[in-house]
Chains A and B, each alone.
Chain A
Amino acid sequence: MSNSDTTLDKVYRKTDGVIARHIAGELLLVPVSGRVADLQRIYSLDSVPAFIWDRLDGAKALDAIRDEIVAAYEVEPDSAAADLLAFVRELADSALVEPAAEAP
């Protein structure tokens, strides 16, 4: 699946090789390959993207996550969806998440 196929009906999960660690108010994502963590490729998420990250659990479709965003923040659904899709594509490009099963 290419990232251009990222749509709201898709389900994503965190890649197995990613270690997430909360440090100093930020969520750091560290890609790990072959038991080696490359600290030149650390990503930092503040509380807003971390809200999405926590919900990319391999079970919840992106439209359900969009609904949770709309419930938690004052934001229009279309705007939330656009930001969500862009963010998930960014994570997928960095191999931090990958497509899981389709939503039931």
Chain B
Amino acid sequence: MFWSPSQNNCEEWRGADATRYSLRGETAVDLFQHLLQNGVAVKVRVTGRSMAPFLAAGDVVTIRPADAASLRFGDVVLVRSPHGLPIMHRLIRKLWHPVRGLIVQTHGDAVHIQDDAVDADAVLGRVSEVRRQQDNSSTGWRRNLDSVCWRLVGALLAARQWLRSSTVPASDG
């Protein structure tokens, strides 16, 4: 489906298709921010292993709008990293910085290095649900992370990482 270029200096007409799109990097952050700030939760597929085994690649998570002040120890949160990329890790610490105000420290469950601390306005949302589909099967399970049980699990996992990490945020200041 190709049409010839326009003679009136308009853009080439190449036909019209709607392409399925895979979110990447800064584009993802922009879209997450736009949707969540407008009160729309987002459902997205997990990539990477930094939160294994709690989250595995292929899991589908629901992220709800949240501000830094409302986050609790152990929540899995979506933040915009200082490099402008989306990171979905566990909250291990909230601190008050004399210049930056409230700052948030996250840490992946399966990594040994804590993330750079981010300002409160870099918090995009909080994961409220995880769905996992078993391989080659229509069966799976769903976790409600707002439940008391999973909040407790989250707090225990955060405590483990908090104990492992240094007491000073990686990029404090």
Contacts and interface: CB of A to CB of B under 8 A. Distances in A.
Interface of A: 19, 21, 23-24, 26, 28-30, 32, 35-49, 52, 69, 72-75, 79-80, 83-84, 86-87, 90-91, 94, 96
User: Interface on chain B toward A: helix, strand, loop, or mixed SS?
Assistant: loop
16 contacts: A19-B35, A23-B31, A28-B21, A32-B40, A35-B39, A36-B41, A36-B62, A39-B45, A42-B20, A42-B21, A44-B20, A52-B16, A72-B10, A73-B10, A74-B7, A84-B16
A72 B13 CA distance: 9
Interface of B: 1, 3-8, 10-23, 26-27, 30-31, 34-35, 39-45, 60, 62
Contacts of B40: 19, 32, 35-37
Contacts of B11: 47-48, 73
B43 A38 contact: yes
A44 B16 contact: no
A10 B64 CA distance: 38
Contact of B3 (A41, A43, A44, A74): A74
A86 B1 CA distance: 10
Given A38-B42, A73-B10, 8 more contacts: A21-B30, A23-B27, A32-B40, A42-B20, A45-B19, A48-B15, A73-B12, A75-B4
Contacts of B5: 74
Contacts of A48: 11-16
Contacts of B23: 39, 42
Given A23-B27, A72-B6, A37 B16 contact: no
B3 A37 contact: no
A7 B45 CA distance: 37
A26 B22 CA distance: 13
A40 B27 CA distance: 14
Contacts of B4: 74-75
Contacts of A35: 39-41
B17 A90 contact: yes
